[in-house]
Structure 1
Amino acid sequence: MGLLEVKQINHSYHSGKLFKWNVQSNKVLNDISFTIEEGTCLGLVGTSGAGKSTLGKVILGIQPPQQGQILFQGYDIYRADKMTQRKIRRNLQVVFQDSYSSVNPRLTAESIISEPLENYERLTVAELKSTVISLLERVGLSEKDLNKYPHQFSGGQLQRINIARAISLKPKLIVLDESVSSLDMVTQSLILELLKELKQDFGLSYLFITHDIKAAFSISDRLGVLEKGELIELYESKEQFFYSKNPVVLQMRDSILAEHPRFRSITKREI
């Protein structure tokens, strides 16, 4: 049994006019199945409109699927009792793409990171502050950042705060939904390195949802390709991505360019 089991997920959005017979169904997820084992990262890549965001919402318990199951640690997240759902929420965290909309602009960094700890842990004021400082330092910030507000941080710094909040409860799995795509290339690389370090240090598992193949390849153990709501490829080894004959994957591979034109003849073994 895997840590996360996604079983035959189907989901559609309905659009239409006033009358029932005008309603049309737009299928966004079609029979999606995969498993994530503890301590591993599955990179899920796909272009805009592939269904990545919807699948992320389904996995996080935000959007119930019309068919299929999401099992986390063996529990169906949509059918579990309240006590089990609370345990699932603790062990299943998320870091979204937009670091600014993911936080309350009126809260300081200390309050943002403290929130899940206050909900799940019984810490004294001193213990809570000490824990938050440790988390800040672990993601490359410092105690002097405690009382700053979101607008006082760069996008990369604020994403570090979101990561600190996500790891505060030592979860089993973190869903990273385009979590580096809005950052510049240098900051992306630094955040990816941080995520890899945290994965090793905390024994974390990741679902890394992205359109960026290079980012996915950098952090993932396995890769899946989502296209028009279907999981068209799922590789047990990320290296297999470079040997696929699938036309969609071939197009993705052809789109990969090195950061500098001088290196755009880079080989597949070097990517």
Structure 2
Amino acid sequence: MSLLEVREVNHSYHSKKLFKWKDQSNRALIDISFSIEEGTCLGLLGTSGAGKSTLGKVVLGIQRPQQGQVLFQGYNIYNTDKHTQRNIRRNLQVVFQDSYSSVNPHMTAERIISEPLDNYEKLTLNEKRKTIISLLERVGLSEKDLNKYPHQFSGGQLQRINIARAISLKPKLIILDESVSSLDMVTQRLILELLRELKDDFGLSYLFITHNIKAAFSISDSLGVLEKGELIEFYDRKDQFFSSENPVVKQMRDSILVEHPRFRHFRPRKGQPL
């Protein structure tokens, strides 16, 4: 049984014009199906407007699809009892793109990380503090950061706190929704390296939603390409991305830039890694 299974999900948004609903709806997701196995990372690539954010909301249980099913550990997340729903919420966490808007600016790092622990664990104050310190250290921060507020951290440091919060309950699956896109290139590498280490250490699974091909390739085991609401390509092995003849994928490959501007005339050859 797959950890996460998305089955033929369809979703549309209706738009208004001149105070009347238009007959034609905007199809955000069209017959989306895929699965994620335990301990693996699926990279979901797509440009702006491809439907990535909508799909992320559907998987998280925020946006109920009009058709289809989302199964987590065999349970339909939109049709289950309260006890199972609570267990799903515990084991399904998320790290968003904007690290600052993901936290309460009036909370310290300690309080931010403690939120899920307060909701799901029964720890003494001393046990909770030790757990939070351990989580901070695991993501590259330290005890001295406990009482700092979000504005006192860099974007990369605050994203580490969001990651610490996400792993605090040792979930089965973390949705990474453009989680490194707002960071500079050096910080991106460090966060991706941290995510790879945590995946191995905690046996985590990821759904890595991004437009960044290099980031997706560095962390993913398998890849999917979303275009105009459709999953147009799915690769069990990420290297298959470089041999695809799909015109959309070809265009994505052609858009890859190497890191230093003087080499930006270079394009990877078919089958060549980034």
TM-score of the superposed pair, with normalisation by structure 1: 0.98
Residues 139 and 194, structure 1, Cα contact 8 Å, conserved in 2: yes
CA distance in 2: counterparts of 1:12 and 1:94, whole angstroms: 23
Across the aligned residues of Structure 1 and Structure 2, the Cα RMSD in angstroms comes to 1.1
For 2:114, the equivalent position in structure 1 comes to: 114
Tell whether the 8 Å contact from 1:6 to 1:35 is kept in structure 2 after alignment: yes
Q: Do the aligned residues in 2 keep the contact of 1:94 with 1:176 (CA within 8 Å)?
A: yes
Matches within 5 A, 1:156-167: 156-167=156-167
Match of 1:69 in 2: 69
User: Hey, what does 1:7 align to over in structure 2?
Assistant: 7
- Correspondence list, 1:127-206, <5 A: 127-206=127-206
Deviation per CA, 1:22-66, whole angstroms, max 9, x where unpaired? 443110100000000000000000000000000000000000000
Q: Give the stretch that moved more between structures: 95-104 or 9-18.
A: 9-18
Question: Which amino acid is 1:254 matched to?
Answer: D
Whether 2:230 is the aligned partner of 1:230: answer: yes
What is the CA–CA distance in structure 1 between the aligned matches of 2:61 and 2:273, rounded to whole Å? 38
SS of the equivalent of 1:10 reads strand
Q: CA deviation at 1:257?
A: 1.2
Q: Deviations over 1:72-111 (max 9, x none)?
A: 0000000011000000000000000000000001100000
- Give distance in 2, aligned partners of 1:74 and 1:3: 7
Shift of 1:258: 0.6
Aligned to 1:123: 123
Instruction: Give the SS at the match of 1:215.
Output: helix
Q: Which amino acid aligns with 1:165?
A: R
Deviations 1:230-266 (A, max 9, x none): 0000000000000000000000000101101344436
Correspondence 1:83-98 to 2 at 5 A: 83-98=83-98
Contact between 2:254 and 2:267, CA under 8 Å: does it hold in 1?
no
Q: Distance in 2 between matches of 1:199 and 1:168?
A: 13
Aligned to 2:252: 252
- TM-score, reference length from structure 2: 0.96
Structure 1: distance between partners of 2:98 and 2:38:
27
| Pairing 1:55–2:55 present | yes
In the alignment, residue 183 of structure 1 is paired with which amino acid?
L
Question: Is the partner of 2:201 in helix, strand or coil?
Answer: helix
Kindly tell me the number of residue pairs found equivalent between the two proteins.
270
Maintained 8 Å contact 2:239/2:273: no
Cα 1:181/1:19, change in 2 over 3 Å: closer
Shift of 1:267: 3.6
Which amino acid counterpart does residue 164 of structure 2 have in structure 1? A
What is the CA distance between 1:156 and its match in structure 2? 0.4
Q: 1:181 touches 1:212 (CA, 8 Å); kept in 2?
A: yes
